Amino acid sequence: SSGIGRAAALHLAGRGADVVLAARRTGALEEVAAEIEEAGRRAWTLRCDLSDPEDAASLGERAWKTADGVTSLLYAAGHLGFSAVGGDPASAARTFAVNLHSFVAVTEYLTARWRDERMPGAVVGVSSVSSTLSPVAGLEYYGASKAAMAQYIRCLAVSVARHGIRANCVAPGIIETPMGDAAGPEHRRGWISRIPAGRVGEPREVAAVLGHLLSGSASRVTGAVLRADGGFGLGDVAPLRPGYPEQAPAGPERTWAEGR
């Protein structure tokens, strides 16, 4: 209903797709649905609490019945749960529920349905460069849950390929979203100093990559974990020279300096 999920829904509608939207905040969903319908496509909204895998387990079937069939799944829900010294079981449980368990629940319903119906399908999830980067204090739960998503996608791709079903995920770096802002200014400054592109990414940039992976132009792509991070995940990139981000080309809407 916001961030990458909203941008992806609008991107897919712009490419001619009808979209089933699901999230906990129904008011925000209705706003996105209205934009999609204004663009001439159909949109349906379903309330689902993705921190509850049991609720998510029924989402695939509900979406199928609502739209009379589903041909692809884009899972952009995410929870940035910070860990604490000594552990925080509640934060760990919520982070893994949203980032992994609910994704698995929806995916397994749809892939089974596609097999039964003998129809092709495509799954794409939003992982994170945090799944593969050097360890970051406080991101144990988030990084592990996103790494688990990426490995699940790889294994799933092997299991379902013979049925004409593809599975991929995108690993964004820091993006201009409410969740990206939750990392705090200190983490944000440190990350930006190591982005060769010199700026934070925009949701629409990630949405375009997600849309590509769901499209026919990616028909031979499966099991991929595609970074969309401005080069952040290339390795141990030294901090960029002072003033570099402000000199970088602007993104779709703003420069890094304007978005600080």
142 flagged as catalytic: yes
Q: Which is it for the CA torsion 179, 181, 185, 190, positive or negative?
A: positive
Q: Which residues of 103-131 are buried (b: 16+ CB within 10 A; e: fewer)?
A: bbbbbebbbebbeeeeeebbbbbbbbbbb
* Rounded CA separation 249/192 (Å): 14
Residue 179 burial (CB count, 10 A): 17
Identify the active-site residue in 141, 142, 152, 244. 142
Strands (E), 82-174: 121-126, 165-172
Beta strand pairing call for 121-126 and 72-75: parallel
CA distance readout (Å), 163 to 85, 107, 146, 196, 219: 45, 15, 26, 40, 13
Beta strand pairing call for 225-228 and 165-172: parallel
Residue positions annotated with a catalytic role = 142
